[in-house]
Amino acid sequence: MLAFAALFLLAVEQRAERLEGTEFAEEAQLAHDPRPALWDYAARRHGEAPWAGFGYGREILRLGFRTGVTPGVDNRMHTHAHNTPVNVLLQGGIVGLALFAWMVAALVREMAKGLRAGDGRRLAAVLGLTLVAGFAIRNMTDDFLVRHNALLAWSLAGAVLGALRSRGSATSARTPA
């Protein structure tokens, strides 16, 4: 846990350096980080549709986030919750979040089975679990599981699952008689 905290602080420092001299320099400082306010706003909105959510799409509440996080301010950078599980909760409600968590858990379970395998499958399992962990950690402070990044993440996960299949489990195609 201490290592994660240190990495988070390092990431905050690097972000502050990268945004220095821009209009977002103040927000890059941890004391002015807008994400806690975004998460608070998301929690309040979740109460309006707790079971089924508001519908599909990360920016389904775009206008609400832009104008509702800081009353009287229209911030074009505040368009979603900046946290994948929270965005999934807003979109699909408790049911959607449970299904998403089940899908990720099933993916991790299948990859973890590969740790007991021999040959190159163990390496594929380690790479797959590292991929899932990396995306999970990164998506706690922003939502990168959209568009091209989502395509890449799910494609790589599928490639890992394919690499983990035992050679005997592949089905052979039948030729018509």
The residue range of the domain holding 145 is 34-166
Helix (H) or strand (E) holding 38: helix 35-46
Across the 177 residues of the chain, what is the mean pLDDT of every consecutive 10-residue run?
Answer: 74 82 79 85 96 91 90 86 94 98 98 91 96 91 89 96 79 53
> What is the model's pLDDT at position 176?
59
Let me know whether 85 and 135 are in one domain. yes
Q: Is residue 17 situated within a structural domain?
A: yes
Q: Tell whether 2 and 64 lie within a shared domain.
A: no
- 3-state SS of 71-136? CCCCCCCCCCCCCHHHHHHHHHHHHHHHHHHHHHHHHHHHHHHHHHCCCCHHHHHHHHHHHHHHHH
Classify residue 174: in a domain, yes or no: no
Reported pTM? 0.80
What pLDDT, on the 0 to 100 scale, is given for residue 167? Answer: 66
What's residue 174's pLDDT?
A: 52
Question: Does residue 171 form part of some domain?
Answer: no
Q: Are residues 144 and 100 in the same domain?
A: yes
Query: Both 82 and 147 in a single domain?
Result: yes
Asked if residues 64 and 38 have their Cβ atoms less than 8 Å apart, the reply is: no
Quick check: is 45 in a domain?
A: yes
- Domains identified in the chain, total number: 2
Amino acid 120: pLDDT:
85
Reading the block at residue 130, the tokens are: 């590292």
pLDDT at 169: 59
